Structure 1
Amino acid sequence: MKEFGYLRPSQVREALALVAADDGARFLGGGTNLVDLMKDGIETPTRLVDVRRLPLDGIREAPDRGLVIGATTTNSDLAAHPEVRRRYPALSQAVLAGASGQLRNMATVGGNLLQRTRCGYFADPSQPCNKRSPGSGCSAITGEHHNHAILGWSDHCVATHPSDMTVALAAYDAVVHYETPDGSHEIPLSGFYLPVGESPQRETVLPPGALITAVTLPAAAAGPRARYRKVRERASYAFANVSVAAALDVEEGVVRGVRIALGGLASRPWRALVAESALRDAPATADRFGDAADAELSAARPLRDNAYKVTLARNLIVAVLTELAHRAE
């Protein structure tokens, strides 16, 4: 690693000022992604501003009876929180499906939102990567890409977003809150991540020096009939080939409400709005679930070696929704 400064402020405004004063400064949460990239020489901050002493941890009820999740809350504490498990079970399941217990004990909610969308070529300086070196090319398109994107990718990058947590947050219509020197701001998670486009190195809409302070979950999204399922190549500590976060409300065999988000398929959590639209007020049957999945995945553009993801995603969507429909009965 290159030498860097380290500071540990106790107030949000102090942290913002420290980063604003140094173009090479970065906020440090649990460090489970940033420190790895520093070891590989991909990230070379001049200063780390540790935010773990800031008053941004904990989970509390929001005015609308949803939940406010502090940005420095660890993933372990998030997954174990009784109200998250009871009211937003897919979120707890998603966090537990991500990484190892040791990493969950360190990783923070804010840091999880900001982990880099990446693949093996991103961490290999000997290979072209537009995300690491804009304009150099994307090695994965013609190289190793069996676990890369089939939705929303561009010729500039085909990596998939690695987070399990954000897939569930997308299904629950989460809102991200952040601070800048100009004040407090918020943005729905649906607008937080940028399409990959021609600038894959820029992944979110956050302005430089912004600090995530919390994530809120609306009360309207709460409910016990929700599920997160992840298919991966080994039992633990592996990114998803495909994952599904879904919630289903069924009355007398008819879908009255549905939320579906997909992971492992795109550069950002993919909200399956086409499938949701096809299912509202439709019979809650496996055939209709399959038709809705087909409609969503009709936009897929598989690469040479990852067309299997289309079938896998379809089957996983049908399986999760069928399970939830049976629970409703």
Structure 2
Amino acid sequence: MTPFTYERASDPAAAARAVAARPDARFIAGGTNLVDLMKLGVERPGHLVDVSRLKLDAIEPRPEGGLKIGAQVKNSVLAADEQVRKLYPLLSRALLAGASGQLRNMASTGGNLLQRTRCFYFADVSQPCNKRTPGSGCAALGGFNRIHAVLGATEACIATNPSDMAVAMAALDARVETVTGEGAPREIPLGELYRAPGEGPETTLGHGELITAVLLPPPPPGRQVYRKVRDRASYAFALVSVAAVVDAADGRVRGGRLALGGVAHKPWRVEEAERLFDGGVETRLFDRIADAALSGARGYGHNDFKIDLARRAIRRTLADAAGDVS
């Protein structure tokens, strides 16, 4: 680990200014991702700005409905919150499917959204990786790519986003509240937070821009289900995950939401697939939705199986969410 300096921020705007002032500065909160990357030599910040003690740890009802979740709310606290469990069980289940109890006690809401990929080659500084060194290549393309993306990937990168929480929040139409390095507030739809591979930085946040909260609208109608398919029952990242909301009554499907994890550089939603939810009681409705959601999917050898796995996971999750309507 390379030497670094450290300061504790007094408020969000001061934290944003402190990081914006130095190209080698980074925010640190729970440190469950950044510290690991520093040990591996992947991240080498010269200055850390600690935001863990900022007053951003509240879960508050919004006047128009929904919740405002502070960026420093711990994952374990968010998963156990009574309002979240009642209104957004999808989010609670996604959080409990991630990491371990110890890590959830440390990991923050904002940090979870910004955690970096768990690609083997990204974590190995002896291998070429465009995320670490732009223009060096992507070792995963011709390497062992079982955990890698089958949607939204490019020749620049086929790594996946590892967050379970982000998949649930994408299905719930969350928005991210930030303060920029100049002190200005900003709101970003979660779907616009992550950039496609090869388009520059991994997120649309500017250097020094700090996530202060996540804004959830009122919950959508329907039953919420989260399913995570992984190599072992706990403490493993998703091969495929599915966040689904299905509004069904009187034997008919009236609407729904669908987001996929473990298959792309960001939580994956497809408008064309979601438009198919208004499909009545067609026996092959969920097959059609799965096909639309996976349109353009491509394997890279070891991860070819993910496409069929995702299709089956989508069908099963939608059927569970719909209850008797399938």
* TM-score normalized by the length of structure 1: 0.95
CA deviation digits over 1:157-196, x for unaligned, max 9?
A: 0011100000000000000000012411101111111111
After TM superposition, give the deviation of residue 254 of structure 1 in Å: 2.0
Greater alpha carbon shift after TM alignment, 305-314 vs 161-170: 305-314
1:288 aligns with 2:289: no
User: How many Å separate the matches in 2 of 1:4 and 1:268?
Assistant: 30
* Aligned mates of 2:245, 2:324 — CA distance in 1: 11
Aligned twin of 2:260: 262
Distance in 1 of aligned mates of 2:206 and 2:123: 24
Q: Does 2:205 match 1:206?
A: yes
Distance 1:88 1:238 in 2: 23
3-state SS of 1:271 partner: coil
Counterpart code for 2:224 = A
- Which residue in the other structure is 2:16 paired with? 16
Moved more, 245-254 or 77-86: 245-254
Alpha carbons 1:99, 1:236 under 8 Å: kept: yes
Asked whether the equivalents of residues 250 and 284 of structure 1 are also in contact (C-alpha less than 8 Å), the reply is no
Aligned to 2:311: 314
Q: How does 1:99-118 map to 2 (within 5 A)?
A: 99-118=99-118
- Say if 1:27 and 1:231 are closer, same or farther in 2 by CA, change over 3 A: same
Letter in 2 for 1:268: K
Equivalent residue in structure 1 for 2:223, among 225, 228, 242 = 225
Map of 1:46 onto structure 2: 46
Are the equivalent residues in 2 in contact too, given 1:286–1:318 (CA < 8 A)?
Answer: no
Residue type of the partner of 2:217? P
CA contact (8 A) 1:162 1:264 kept: yes
> Which position in structure 2 is the counterpart of 1:191?
192
> CA shift at 1:272, angstroms?
3.1
Q: Relative to structure 2, which stretch is displaced further, 129-138 or 319-328? A: 319-328
User: Offset at 1:327?
Assistant: 6.2
**Maintained 8 Å contact 1:156/1:198:** no
Q: Over aligned residue pairs, what C-alpha RMSD do you find?
A: 1.5
Identify the residue that residue 299 of structure 2 maps to in structure 1: 302
- Paired AA for residue 10 in structure 2: S
Kindly state the Cα deviation for residue 118 of structure 1 after the two structures are TM-superposed: 3.8
TM-score computed with the length of structure 2 as normaliser = 0.96
Secondary structure of the residue that 1:19 maps to in structure 2? helix
Give the partner amino acid of 1:193: Y
Q: Per-residue CA shift, 1:251-271, capped at 9, x if unaligned? A: 322221200000011011101
Matched residue of 1:73: which SS? coil
Contact 1:122–1:129 (CA under 8 A) maintained in structure 2: yes
Please list the CA deviations of residues 51-110 of structure 1 after superposition, one character each: whole Å capped at 9, or x if unmatched: 111111110001211100000000000100011011011100000000000000000000
Q: Is the 8 A contact 2:319 2:325 kept in 1?
A: no
Alignment of 1:1-12 (within 5 A): 1-12=1-12
Q: Specify the alignment match of 1:127 in structure 2.
A: 127
Structure 1 residue 223 displacement after superposition: 4.9
Alpha-carbon separation, structure 1, partners of 2:311 and 2:119: 24
CA distance in 2, matches of 1:63, 1:124: 47
Q: Aligned pair in 2 of structure 1 residues 301, 3: CA closer, same or farther (>3 Å)? A: same
Aligned residues with identical type, % of pairs: 55
Cα 1:293/1:134, change in 2 over 3 Å: same
**Which deviates further from its counterpart, 73-82 or 295-304?**
295-304
Distance 2:325 2:165 in 1: 25
Q: Once the 2 structures are TM-superposed, how far is the Cα of residue 211 of structure 1 from its aligned partner?
A: 0.6
Using the alignment, how far apart are the partners of 1:317 and 1:295 within structure 2? 11
Aligned to 2:65: 65
Asked whether the equivalents of residues 74 and 104 of structure 2 are also in contact (C-alpha less than 8 Å), the reply is yes
Instruction: Report if aligned partners of 1:10, 1:55 keep a CA contact under 8 Å in 2.
Output: no
Distance 1:14 1:275, change over 3 A: same
Give the Cα separation in 1 of the matches to 2:152 and 2:15.
Answer: 35
